[in-house]
Structure 1
Amino acid sequence: MKLTPGKLAGLKSVSDARGVIAAAAMDQRGSLQKSLAKERGAAADAHDLERFKLLVTEVLTRHASAILLDPEFGLPAAHQRNGKGLLLAYEKTGYDSATPGRLPDLLDVWSVRRLKEAGADCIKILLYYTPFEKSAINDLKHAWIERIGDECIAHDIPFFLEFVGYDAHGGDEKSLAYALKKPEIVSGSMAEFGKARYNVDVLKVEVPIEMSFVEGTRAFKGEKAYTRAEALQHFRDAETMTHKPFIYLSAGVSNPVFIETLELAAESGTKFNGVLCGRATWKDGIAIYAREGEKAFRDWLETTGVENISNVNEALKAATPWYTKFGATSLAELG
């Protein structure tokens, strides 16, 4: 695999000095708006989203290699990122629940060209995906990702693909039954989108287990899907599914659970290449912003938020530089 100049520059810009992606994520839109409104007991508007994102970006990018934002509410924040890299989301928030298959859609007035003009170093897409979905639905998703991959090639910018699994039969994704299926869902998705035809540069993946079902962990809640040894093997098995760089997402878990997850990944010997971590750093500040306002939220970010991201950075000492996936021993080797 050879990296083009634009792809190489983009990947460098979102990495730390070691070549590890230690990025913060702040591209939540619909879910963030609902959470703010729930905590406040009154509606949250576009201004709230812009200010929340700006404060998170301003404080946390001092301790991150990059920030993931959306172009709908995140562009003011993009100017306050302390010189760090910028990933911009290209998909609409959520999915159409009235249509089967959690089909995705792109933002109406944006293109890869426009996102790049807005300052993006990399493009990010979120896709709800399971290998167990009907082939007619997955075929639509495969073609959609192919188009985006080709668009990113045309504009020579890295393509980060985030896929989030779900139960194709409408089951509960927090259940034991889903936890047992999850390793195969994650591994199958990594195998699919690691294929050359999609032109994805970095896979943003879920961990292949549900921590609360791993016996022998602090996160364990009493119902077992896997022993600790089995969980470690699931990490290793997922890694074998792709030669592409991959990073973990925090999937909305608490900071202590995400840290323990990364510790488990490290213990397994998995050569992951970083994180794109959102809610595990700032989620607990939603109530502060909603009830106490901007100053209280900034104070919270400067203390607890910084502590949370510092915990993640400590756990990232176990990550492997992404350039090793290209057979390089240093960034300089790639140009």
Structure 2
Amino acid sequence: MTLTLTPGKQLGFRRMSDEAGRFKMTAVDQRPPIKNPIAAAHGGEAPWDKVAEVKTALMEALQPSSTAMLLDPHYAIPHGWRAFDARKGLIVTLEDSLFRETGQGRYSAEIDDWSVGKIKRMGGDAVKVLAWYRPDISDEVRIAQEDFVKRTGEACAALDIPFLFELLVHPVDSDAEQTSEYTEMATKHSDHVLKSVEHFAGADYGVDVFKLESPVPGKGIEGGDAAVQALFDEMGALAARPWVMLSAGAGKDDFKTVLEYAYAAGASGYLAGRAIWLDAFNAWPDMDAMRAGLTRDSVPYMDSLNALTDARATPWHQHQVYGGDGLAFVDASAGFRHGYGDMR
């Protein structure tokens, strides 16, 4: 399969990546990992201004080292808009952080009164969706999750904006490990990750970039393991388009090792949050100490990730799905305007 990116999607890719075509993207769209500690300190309810203040501080400190920022419409965008560097790519979250747990799967949905159209209209360069999924969930939940992803892909295609899709496996009732947090399962099965990637790589879903978790637990991961590398290689082959790694709350050293495996398998960069800024955030509510930690620890860590990315990541436009030339224009002729889709 060989694809040519439409103009809007290609421009989104170019704005999200560096000049060489590598993604160095920072996520500050997380809601529970930031809201929960703040809520605990305020009697169970997180004040909007406290959460928004943290997110803006993360933006200010980390965007100079980033090619793009992933922001949410609840806090980061309205509070941090003035601080956002318009020279960076803007990725905007579509999914609600709240999900309905059934014990046999999790239902995802859009944030209320939010849409792909609104993200496009406000100038977003890409739409990000996280969907909880694994192939052994109940048929009812599986179909609902697939429909959610499919309608997002269709809306992104209609409005010519990249669809960045994040997959996370999760526990069901039969698992010994139970967690509702946005954290990696220590007991996850590689097959659950790989089969989920394979499924959503189908053309019906319209995914442009995958944001993927490690196919093996990242905590304590060691480098140089041929069997682990084979799993990353399989994941990259199944994705069959540009893909980046998420950190899933991994520690700094572990996430760097995960990236080494991913880059050897053809990943084009990272889109990470907590591995970069969580240690500094732990200084909250001392905002001065948090900002100092971001400068002292998070920024140098990002510099090390960026150096690794420069050295080993595959530029997105060199991916085989584009025949090695993702920068080709869809119709480089005087007749371009006639064939370009109506975006009404």
Q: TM-score range by the shorter chain?
A: 0.7 to 0.9
Query: Counterpart in 2 of 1:289?
Result: 284
Q: 1:324 Cα shift? A: 1.8
Structure 2 partner of 1:303: 296
Report the equivalent of 1:255.
Answer: 252
1:318 corresponds to: 312
Q: How many residues align?
A: 319
Following superposition of structure 1 onto structure 2, how do residues 33-72 of structure 1 map, counting pairs within 5 Å?
33-38=35-40, 44-72=46-74
Tell me how far apart the structure 2 counterparts of residues 330 and 241 of structure 1 sit (CA, whole Å): 20
Q: Aligned equivalents of 1:331 and 1:201: distance in 2? A: 12
Q: Is the counterpart of residue 191 in structure 1 residue 198 in structure 2? A: yes
Q: Deviations over 1:203-259 (max 9, x none)?
A: 111011113465xx28xxxxxxxx922211111121221312111100001111111
Q: Write the distance in 2 (CA, Å) between the matches of 1:128 and 1:87.
A: 19
CA contact (8 A) 2:29 2:76 kept: yes
User: Which amino acid is the alignment partner of residue 30 of structure 1?
Assistant: P
* Distance across 2 between alignment mates of 1:196 and 1:103: 22
Cα 1:334/1:277, change in 2 over 3 Å: farther
More helix by percentage: 1
Q: Is 1:236 the equivalent of 2:233?
A: yes
Percent sequence identity is 29
8 Å contact 2:116–2:155 — kept in the other structure?
Answer: yes
For 1:132 and 1:113, the matched residues in 2 are separated by: 32
Deviates more, 1:58-67 or 1:231-240: 231-240
Does the CA contact (< 8 Å) of 1:130 and 1:167 recur in 2?
Answer: no
Equivalent position of 1:30 in the other structure? 32
Any conservation in 2 of the 1:39–1:286 contact (CA below 8 Å)? no
Q: Are the structure 2 counterparts of residues 173 and 10 from structure 1 closer, same or farther at C-alpha, using a change threshold of 3 Å? A: farther
Residue deviations 1:25-56 (CA, integer Å, cap 9, x gap): 01011231103344788753111111111111
Conservation of the 8 A alpha-carbon contact between 1:36 and 1:286:
no
Deviation at 1:162, TM superposition (A): 0.3
Matched to 1:300, the amino acid is: G
**Contact 2:27 2:273 survives alignment (8 Å):** yes
RMSD: 2.4
Structure-2 residue corresponding to 1:223: none
Q: Deviations over 1:246-289 (max 9, x none)?
A: 111000011111112212334xx300111101000000122212
After superposition, the Cα gap between the structure-2 partners of 1:243 and 1:331, relative to the gap in structure 1 and judged at 3 Å, is closer
SS at match of 1:289: coil
Matched, 1:84 2:51: no
Deviation at 1:170, TM superposition (A): 4.4
Normalising by structure 1, we get a TM-score of: 0.88
How many Å separate the matches in 1 of 2:26 and 2:120? 19
Whether the 8 Å contact between 2:316 and 2:326 is mirrored in structure 1 is no
Q: Partner of 1:107: helix, strand, or coil?
A: coil
Residue of structure 1 aligned with 2:162, choices 150, 158, 163: 158
Question: Which of 131, 134, 139 pairs up with 2:138?
Answer: 134
What secondary structure does 1:241 align onto? helix
